[in-house]
Amino acid sequence: MSNGVNGDHHGPEPDQAELSRSEGELFLSEAFKIIVEEAVHKATDVKEKVCEWKDPEELRALMDLELGEHGESQQQLLKRVRDVAKYSVKTNHPRFFNQLFSGVDYHALTGRLLTETLNTSQYTYEVAPVFVLMEDVVLRKLRSLVGWSEGDGIFCPGGSVSNMYAMNIARYWAFPQVKTQGLWAVPRLAVFTSQESHYSMKKSAAFLGIGTENIYHVKVDESGRMIPEDLEAKIVHAKSQDAVPFFVNATAGTTVQGAFDPLNRIADISERNGMWMHVDAAWGGSVLFSKKHKHLLTGLERANSFTWNPHKMLMAGLQCSVILMRDTTNLLMRCHCANATYLFQQDKFYDMSLDTGDKSVQCGRKVDCLKLWLMWKAIGSQGLANRVDTAFANTRYFVEELKKREGFQLVSEVAPLIKERMVKKGSMMVGYQPLDSRVNFFRMVILSPQLTHSDLDFFLNETERLGEDL
Amino acid sequence: MSNGVNGDHHGPEPDQAELSRSEGELFLSEAFKIIVEEAVHKATDVKEKVCEWKDPEELRALMDLELGEHGESQQQLLKRVRDVAKYSVKTNHPRFFNQLFSGVDYHALTGRLLTETLNTSQYTYEVAPVFVLMEDVVLRKLRSLVGWSEGDGIFCPGGSVSNMYAMNIARYWAFPQVKTQGLWAVPRLAVFTSQESHYSMKKSAAFLGIGTENIYHVKVDESGRMIPEDLEAKIVHAKSQDAVPFFVNATAGTTVQGAFDPLNRIADISERNGMWMHVDAAWGGSVLFSKKHKHLLTGLERANSFTWNPHKMLMAGLQCSVILMRDTTNLLMRCHCANATYLFQQDKFYDMSLDTGDKSVQCGRKVDCLKLWLMWKAIGSQGLANRVDTAFANTRYFVEELKKREGFQLVSEVAPLIKERMVKKGSMMVGYQPLDSRVNFFRMVILSPQLTHSDLDFFLNETERLGEDL
């Protein structure tokens, strides 16, 4: 290696040699300083931009993305680290409202850095002893919040996959022969979910071979909640078409309006019809921590399974998603296992029930529990509850302030234009979308406890400023 | 916040307050020092243990994993960071041979740390401008290695999911109505893969609703390579049972023996039968970088798709897996899209073909390209080629040394016992498994360029020592 990190020596051309341990550690520590400066310190500074907008062509040129035969100097690579940070969107920024994640939790981030450095896969106790036990503790604790003293679960790469797991497990529970013989061995299956549910239901039905047309979309009320009477009607309709209703997906916190479906009513209907009830609580699950708002999830304890993404409202960092199940019959393992002998040997010297990897449809699986665990250790269940309560309080504040301003109904008709202006200016980021017959409107996502009233006021003022002439 | 990171002030009890920015950054930098010391510096020191074995009960108690109402002091949390590292397996260690990943690449690790800190999701140009362009460049470059000037692809959470994508895309290609109407609308489908192929084929067939019994397992020769004549026979057999052959999976680098299926012969048969040919090159794909060993993949250019995991032989870090496709008809998008209006608005102010998220069956998707890109920038294609060549050279050295030692045939019969001893001692880690009628044997995985001959000699000597009395 001829190019030291800080040295001014430049060889005739950068080489391809492997870094020594000390060179590697030096690079890591230099890079880490840049990462903290650009992607933490500046990225959380309200005076800095949320994004440094560049058109694709301009950015492509700026970043010099193409890959070549030869390596580069360590100095040049450090500059690249800085550039990647500089031109990336600062989702840690207080004025990033664009997705259902935002803000930064320093302990969770530490957990993520440690996870990446340890670089292991969560399939056996042998290679991930700490994380196998930790995942078990975290899942158990999450289940206890809904009152389940037993059960099962697993971390998945995102909420869509967690929902997909639920649909597959429900299918196996209803018709175990599907695993070996495929769907040809069973009658046509019917899935029920609301019109406002997440698009992962469609993706799941397509991927699992069930087909999107075998989803029956249940109507919602004005607030976006599933109408139980329509669920019953749709079930009757499906049966009349010789389809077998096996799976209801209720949503706790819809993607656009944040609505909570009436879980007890849906549970009644599911039970009467012998169906698996799943709740997509990817967004709303975190409400379980709050004594004040937990009532929104009344009835969740009657579900067979639910999805919960602590990377959303709790800020654990991407990705942190679980499916939790009430089942005590090892359904998850039975549904997914393939019993690979090279990995899940049955003659090991420890309790092989700790080799949980065969519960997953993945082989290698990232460790997703550490970031949540360390954050939880840091602020406790009470700290997490505070976070949820703060988000609700901030939302109330925002709604009251919004009501005071006359122009905001009009704004919605010009959302795409205002969006373009805010992104190019880099002052904030928020998403917009249409809903039924309504035109495009902004979806304001409030979750981070780092948000102040001043950030929320800024949002209102800035939106007015950006739309002034429209 | 009453507990400073370094302060000796202890409040009456740890609180649940949010860290300020400066407290957060202080914690991060203190934690990072520990991470580098424990999970990098010591973890790559050949004089340190590969693992600090503890029985599950002992480890559970040591780690104090349970989660409570209240938070902890920053000092206590830093100790937890150290403990997690201490009791985790050091996959970065030169004597970790247990899985198809090992060693550490400092640039790739830097890419992972930056990815985690930026905490974004790879679905739209809007939230991931740098990474959308970067993924495109990396995928294009990977395709160019197999001679494809056009095509498609995407990063997936692991090789099993990449393989699953292939099977689903092939199905959609053959019978697009499956997406909407499900498998009931098409004849029974048949999948072909060798007996030695990865278990993700089984998981895929089960998950996609095709069923494991609709996999036809093709015989392999002594080296573990698929026998083309048997593939032909199995296709005839499937047709005679009224199943429709639509998908052949060839393997380039089998999991246990590292065998490469004869791709040209398999391509001939696939073409003749109008089938989609996929190659699971999760392990072997990296050979494409090596002028010397690339011939192992002759015929890969005729496949419709292949899986490649740069987190294996190239050491990009978990997870880094791609599916690459020859298709130029936007099949990937058409097969997986759900057109969610809240995310993939069609009235944006930039080229919306850059919103690639709908190609995935996930919604949120981790950024997996940066670690590979930064590593590639650091050592160039030549550096990556060197890495592959070094692994092959080390393997040859190891085999020659092995042949000189008489006891090693016998050793295989006592693999589980030797494994227990090595793990409890923490001196090294290697996996074992049976194969057909053969008893348990060790699977020695050689990949990291940081491996020296002395590490390989150590393996042989240590195995002898551990098995001396058996």
**Are B182 and A203 a contacting pair at CB < 8 A?**
no
Q: How far apart are CA B96 and CA B93, in angstroms?
A: 5
Q: How far apart are CA B138 and CA A408, in angstroms?
A: 43
**Are A114 and B85 a contacting pair at CB < 8 A?**
yes
**Are B318 and A121 a contacting pair at CB < 8 A?**
yes
* ipTM attached to this prediction: 0.94
How many interface pairs between A and B have CB atoms less than 8 angstroms apart?
518
**Per-residue pLDDT tens digits for A285-316:** 999 999 999 999 999 999 999 999 999 999 99
**Are B364 and A54 a contacting pair at CB < 8 A?**
no
Helix (H) or strand (E) holding A107: helix A106-118
**Per-residue pLDDT tens digits for B398-421:** 989 988 887 776 555 688 889 999
Q: Please determine, for residue A122, whether its predicted confidence score (pLDDT) is greater than 90.
A: yes
**Averaged pLDDT for residues B240-244:** 98
**Are A209 and B213 a contacting pair at CB < 8 A?**
no
> Distance from B364 to chain A by nearest Cα, in Å?
6
> Distance from B425 to chain A by nearest Cα, in Å?
13
Q: How far apart are CA B98 and CA B423, in angstroms?
A: 11
Cα distances (angstroms) measured from residue B391 to each of A217, B376, B453:
54, 18, 11
- For chain B, the structural domain boundaries read 120-368
Tokens of B38: 């424990």
**Are B363 and A199 a contacting pair at CB < 8 A?**
yes
Instruction: Give me the residue from B19, B109, B210 closest to A28, CB to CB.
Output: B109
**Per-residue pLDDT tens digits for A428-459:** 999 888 877 777 888 889 888 888 999 999 99
**Per-residue pLDDT tens digits for B287-346:** 999 999 999 999 999 999 999 999 999 999 999 999 999 999 999 999 999 988 888 888
> Distance from A429 to chain B by nearest Cα, in Å?
9
- Which residue of A47, A88, A215 to mutate against B (max B Cβ within 10 Å)? A88
Please give the mean pLDDT across all residues of chain A: 93
**Are A383 and B17 a contacting pair at CB < 8 A?**
yes
Q: Please determine, for residue B1, whether its predicted confidence score (pLDDT) is greater than 80.
A: no
- Which residue of A29, A37, A67, A112 to mutate against B (max B Cβ within 10 Å)? A67
Q: How is the beta sheet containing A96-97 ordered, strand by strand?
A: A96-97, A429-435, A438-443
Which residue does chain A place closest to B451, by CA atoms? A18
Nearest-CA neighbor of B323 among B203, B196, B170? Answer: B170
- Under 8 Å between Cβ of B133 and B176: no
**Are B157 and A157 a contacting pair at CB < 8 A?**
yes
- Under 8 Å between Cβ of B312 and B289: no
Correct CATH for A120-368 of 3.40.50.720, 3.40.640.10, 3.40.50.10810, 3.30.428.10: 3.40.640.10
Q: Please determine, for residue B214, whether its predicted confidence score (pLDDT) is greater than 80.
A: yes
**Are B180 and A319 a contacting pair at CB < 8 A?**
no
> Distance from A43 to chain B by nearest Cα, in Å?
9
Instruction: With both helix axes pointing from N to C terminus, report the angle between B369-403 and B129-145 in degrees, rounded to the nearest 10.
Output: 40
> Distance from B184 to chain A by nearest Cα, in Å?
6
pLDDT of residue A407: 74
